[in-house]
């Protein structure tokens, strides 16, 4: 009953529903892709699962039509990151926010073109939105790597003469932050692999992933994100 209550509570929020839809969509793509490719007798079931995955992806695309304002408010509050002590983290975060802010209207135009609301070439707008997403993920990877390096240096650096070692509570907090950054790094890398796959052919491994591999990368990223959200909720 407790787990059902937690699930119901998570589904009451937009972010909670989005995480569940995301993990279900990628899981369907993973299982469906495996069945189509490896199990000819179950190919019909696999095809149906791939259709479900596609529809869940469309659902998330439509829900993101309403994300612009919340993203704008967050970007405005963060500003130029004056609260950040590290200059590299500040500017990487600012550029990441800019890429995220531009991503939404590009995706909206692409969706509207596919729905024949706008008479424009949707493929160009899908490519642009995917490129912005990939840029945001790449910046997130750079930020996490930098934070892990800095935190590791602070934890391993010998204490100077006449200074006391790090308090146990602060050390634990830094170790927890390192774990969080490591999870974010893995999640962003998994999403980045898919983002490059969806770019036009000729860009690295674009277009080379089979459906099951796209589903696997997305499932890994989704599960890590859900774990981080649950962990942050537990700490709160």
- Mean pLDDT to the nearest integer, 8-33: 89
Question: At what angle are helices 211-235 and 168-197 packed, to 10 degrees?
Answer: 160
Does residue 39 fall inside a structural domain? yes
CB 214 within 8 A of CB 33: yes
- Mean pLDDT to the nearest integer, 62-73: 94
- How confident is the model over 170-210, as pLDDT tens digits? 888 888 899 999 999 999 999 999 999 999 999 999 999 99
Does residue 220 fall inside a structural domain? yes
- The pLDDT mean for the chain works out to 90
State percent of the chain over pLDDT 70. 90
Whether the per-residue pLDDT at 166 is higher than 70: the answer is no
- How confident is the model over 35-66, as pLDDT tens digits? 999 888 888 999 999 999 999 999 999 999 99
For residues 158 and 191, the model is more confident at: 191
Q: What is the pLDDT of residue 156?
A: 80
Does residue 85 fall inside a structural domain? no
Does residue 124 fall inside a structural domain? no
DSSP, residue by residue, the chain: -HHHHHHHHHHTSHHHHHHHHHHHHHHHHHHHHHHHHH-GGGHHHHHHHHHHHHHHHHHHHHHGGG-HHHHHHHHHHHTT-TT-S-HHHHHHHHHHHHHHHHHHHHHHHHHHHHTTSS-S-HHHHHHHHHHHHHHHHHHHHHHHHHHHHHHHHHHHSPPPTT-PPPPHHHHHHHHHHHHHHHHHHHHHHHHHHHHHHTSPTTSTTTT---HHHHHHHHHHHHHHHHHHHHHHHHH-
- Mean pLDDT to the nearest integer, 158-166: 55
Does residue 224 fall inside a structural domain? yes
Domain span at 42: 16-65+206-235
Does residue 158 fall inside a structural domain? no
Distances (CA, A) of 219 to 54, 131, 140: 14, 21, 19
- pLDDT band at residue 160 under the 50/70/90 scheme: very low
Q: What is the pLDDT of residue 101?
A: 96
What domain count does the chain have? 1
Give exposure, 112-145, as e/b (b: 16+ Cβ within 10 Å): bbeeeeeeeebeebbbbbbbbbbbbbbbbbbbbe
Does residue 145 fall inside a structural domain? no
Does residue 120 fall inside a structural domain? no
CA 210, CA 18: separation in Å to the nearest integer? 24
- pLDDT band at residue 162 under the 50/70/90 scheme: very low
CA 229, CA 219: separation in Å to the nearest integer? 15
């Amino acid at each position: 009953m407790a787990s059902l209550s937690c699930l119901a509570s998570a589904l009451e929020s937009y972010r909670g529903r989005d995480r569940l839809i995301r993990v279900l969509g990628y899981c369907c793509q993973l299982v469906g892709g495996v069945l189509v490719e490896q199990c000819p007798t179950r190919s019909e079931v696999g095809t149906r699962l791939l259709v479900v995955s596609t529809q869940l992806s469309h659902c998330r695309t439509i829900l993101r039509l309403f994300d612009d304002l919340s993203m704008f408010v967050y970007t405005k509050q963060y500003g130029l990151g004056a609260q950040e002590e590290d200059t590299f983290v500040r500017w990487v975060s600012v550029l990441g926010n800019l890429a995220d802010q531009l991503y939404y209207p590009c995706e909206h135009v692409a969706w509207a073109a596919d729905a024949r609301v706008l008479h424009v070439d949707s493929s160009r707008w899908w490519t642009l939105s995917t490129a912005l997403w990939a840029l945001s993920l790449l910046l997130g990877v750079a930020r996490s790597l930098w934070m892990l390096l800095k935190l590791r240096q602070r934890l391993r650096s010998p204490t100077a003469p006449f200074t006391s070692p790090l308090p146990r509570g602060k050390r634990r907090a830094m170790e927890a932050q390192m774990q969080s950054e490591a999870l974010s790094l893995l999640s962003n890398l998994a999403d980045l692999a898919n983002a490059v796959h969806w770019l036009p052919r000729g860009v690295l491994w674009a277009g080379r992933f089979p459906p099951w591999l796209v589903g696997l990368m997305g499932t890994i990223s989704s599960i890590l994100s859900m774990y981080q959200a649950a962990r942050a909720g537990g700490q709160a």
